[in-house]
């Protein structure tokens, strides 16, 4: 398919997992992709698989100067930007009673502040037909044990899309949320182990974890003109977890 031919995309958290799977899908559909992430070794490994239509910029979405470098690189090489996939995020299991100020600062700094400035700093490069995709989570809708802080941050992301849909009226730029449940990324496999993966797989109606490529396919849909009449919406890619 060539739904994204000629389009320029930025994917934060693009070196691994859902971000990398989405980058591969975007490129296969014709896009030029900038991936952004914190670890240079992971970015280098990702670039080796993505080919000539990708660039990598090292940095953190919690750093405004890093985001400035990212968008300066996009402007210098491509001039404009069509797609922003604000995918980078952090989270961990934290039961009530064990949450510290440091935990709050880290998770909200990345998942909320970082998402806000990832999008806000991209806007001067975007125009009519632009698509903004925010990574939410089923945890932003459900009450997931030990995920209150992470879930609250993802609920905030959902509300950002609702409000930004209003703020972007008349610009031709759309904003939507892609909300996966637990996905079989490298990080999830390392954190959960084989037994933990089985437990999480049983929580949804399809009784398995999502593959990153399945989530990337939905990201490509939201990035493309096939979703041209969608904005301020949430698309659940969660095996029905948050729907029951």
176 backbone dihedrals φ, ψ, rounded to 5°:
-140, 160
Contacts for 61 with CB less than 8 Å, ≥ 6 apart: 12, 36, 67, 86, 88, 110, 114, 115, 117, 118
Active-site residue among 75, 154, 189, 198? 154
Which tokens go with 119?
């999008």
H helix or E strand, kind and range, residue 9: strand 8-12
What is the token pair recorded at 97?
A: 């009673």
Helical axes 17-28 vs 212-223, angle rounded to 10°? 50
Q: Which of 150, 169, 198, 207 is catalytic?
A: 150
- The yes-or-no answer on residue 71 being catalytic is no
Q: How far apart are CA 151 and CA 136, in angstroms?
A: 9
Active site residue 169: no
Could you list the active site residues?
Answer: 150, 154
């Amino acid at each position: 398919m060539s739904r994204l031919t000629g389009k320029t995309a930025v994917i934060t958290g693009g070196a691994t997992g859902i971000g990398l799977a989405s980058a591969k899908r975007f490129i296969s559909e014709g896009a030029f992709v900038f991936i952004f992430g914190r670890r240079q070794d992971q970015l280098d490994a990702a670039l080796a698989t993505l080919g000539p239509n990708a660039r990598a910029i090292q940095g953190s979405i919690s750093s405004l100067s890093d985001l400035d470098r990212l968008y300066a690189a996009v402007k210098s090489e491509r001039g404009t930007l069509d797609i922003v996939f604000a995918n980078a995020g952090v989270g961990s299991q934290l039961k009530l009673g064990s949450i510290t100020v440091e935990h709050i600062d880290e998770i909200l700094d990345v998942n909320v502040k970082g998402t806000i400035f990832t999008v806000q700093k991209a806007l001067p490069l975007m125009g009519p037909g632009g698509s903004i995709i925010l990574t939410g989570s089923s945890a932003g809708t459900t009450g997931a044990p030990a995920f209150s802080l992470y879930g609250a941050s993802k609920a905030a992301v959902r509300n950002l899309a609702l409000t930004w849909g209003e703020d972007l009226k008349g610009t031709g730029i759309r904003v939507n949320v892609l909300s996966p449940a637990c996905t079989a990324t490298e990080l999830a496999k390392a954190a959960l182990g084989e037994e933990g993966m089985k437990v999480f797989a049983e929580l949804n109606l399809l009784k398995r974890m999502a593959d990153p490529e399945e989530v990337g396919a939905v990201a490509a849909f939201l990035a493309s003109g096939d979703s041209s009449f969608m904005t301020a919406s949430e698309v659940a890619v969660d095996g029905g977890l948050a729907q029951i």
